[in-house]
A and B are shown apart, each in its own frame.
Chain A
Amino acid sequence: MINRISEFLVGLLFGVGLIVGGMTDPGKVLAFLDLAGAWDPSLAFVMGGAILVGLVAFSIAKQRTRSFLGEAMHLPTASDIDQRLIVGSLLFGAGWGIAGFCPGPAIVSMGAGQPKAIVFVVAMIVGMGLFELAEGFRRRASAPAK
Chain B
Amino acid sequence: MEIDWNHFTPWLSLGGGLLLGVAAALFILLNGRILGISGIVGGLFRPRTGDFAWRASFLLGLLSAPLLYTAVAGPLEPRIDANWAMVILAGLLVGIGTRYGAGCTSGHGVCGLSRMSPRSLVATLAFMGAGFVTVFLIRHVLA
Contacts and interface: CB of A to CB of B under 8 A. Distances in A.
Given A6-B31, A7-B54, A24-B78, A15 B62 contact: yes
A26 B79 contact: yes
Contact of B25 (A4, A57, A76, A131): A57
A40 B8 contact: yes
Interface in A17-36: 17-28, 30-31, 33-36
B92 A123 contact: yes
Interface residues of B, number: 113
Contacts of A6: 26, 30-31
Contacts of A26: 78-82
How large, as a class, is the contact surface on chain A? 35 or more
Chain A contact surface mostly: helix
A25 B7 CA distance: 12
B106 A93 contact: no
A15 B136 CA distance: 28
Contact of A84 (B9, B45, B86, B100): B100
Contacts of A67: 28-32
B104 A102 contact: yes
A85 B77 CA distance: 34
Contacts, number: 496
Nearest to A122: B91
A126 B45 CA distance: 11
B83 to A, nearest CB: 9
Contact of B92 (A71, A104, A126): A126
A114 B86 CA distance: 16
Nearest to A25: B78
B55 to A, nearest CB: 8
A93 B130 contact: yes
A137 interface: no
B65 A42 contact: no
21 contacts: A11-B62, A15-B69, A17-B16, A27-B81, A45-B11, A46-B16, A48-B14, A51-B21, A57-B29, A67-B28, A79-B118, A80-B119, A85-B102, A89-B108, A95-B89, A95-B91, A104-B106, A111-B64, A119-B87, A124-B92, A124-B94
Interface of A: 3-28, 30-31, 33-43, 45-58, 60-62, 64, 66-69, 71-76, 78-81, 84-104, 106-112, 114, 116-117, 119-132
Interface of B: 1-4, 7-35, 37-38, 41-42, 45-46, 53-54, 57-70, 76-82, 84, 86-106, 108-119, 122-124, 126-136, 138-140
Given A25-B78, A53-B18, A123-B92, 16 more contacts: A10-B23, A13-B23, A14-B35, A31-B7, A37-B140, A57-B29, A62-B115, A67-B30, A85-B102, A87-B101, A94-B93, A94-B131, A101-B90, A101-B91, A106-B91, A123-B91
